[in-house]
Amino acid sequence: MCGTILWEAKQTKAWQGAWLRKLKDEQQEIGAEFAVIVTAAMPKDAREPFLRDSDVWVTRYDAARPLAECLRAALLELAKQRQANLGRSEKMELLYNYICSPQFGQRLKSLYDGFVAMREELEAEKAALGRIWKKREAQLTRMQDGLLSVVGDLQGIGEEALPALDVVAALPTGSEAHEISAPNLVQMKSYLGPGS
């Protein structure tokens, strides 16, 4: 095990500063390297998706995963340093100072911003595909309506002479078109004859 991150989730409407002391005490009790509060209600002065207060990380729910990835990477690096530099507390102190530095927070913010940008792009792509599918569905519906109109005209002219057209006239319309089953398709092919 490389280390421990102590997590606490809060689903409340208002931030309480007492949470920091309580979690810090629990962190010391179990010897965790990091303590994180994931909360729906950030401290009043918080402008970023996460911050560090009294050696406890505080994050919104949407930023919890990127923060977890960064803290995990820091734990792995910390474990590597422990292995490589047994007895060299200076490097451990340097690493700890780095984790406590504004640069580390800025890197976390940069990773979070990238995560948000990718999420927004994904949602935009989903919306674009939805529009394309709706357009194609409308085109198919128009084609089907046109085919049914032609069949109706031919049946009106030929009356009983064109029984195979009954199958086409029985084609489902609109949302029914999505519910065609394999037996219905086989039945249609048998009405229309070989090669259909």
Euclidean distance between CA atoms 75 and 94, whole angstroms? 14
> The whole model's pTM is what?
0.47
**39-65 per-position pLDDT tens digit:** 999 988 888 888 888 889 999 999 999
Please tell me the predicted confidence (pLDDT) of residue 8: 94
For 68-110, write each residue's pLDDT tens digit: 999 998 888 888 877 776 656 777 787 888 888 888 888 888 8
CB of 174 closer than 8 Å to CB of 140: no
* Domains of the chain by residue range: 5-100, 132-192
pLDDT value of residue 162: 60
Among candidates 50, 45, 57, 60, which has minimal Cα distance to 20? Answer: 57
Instruction: Scan for tokens 């910390």, then name that residue.
Output: 78
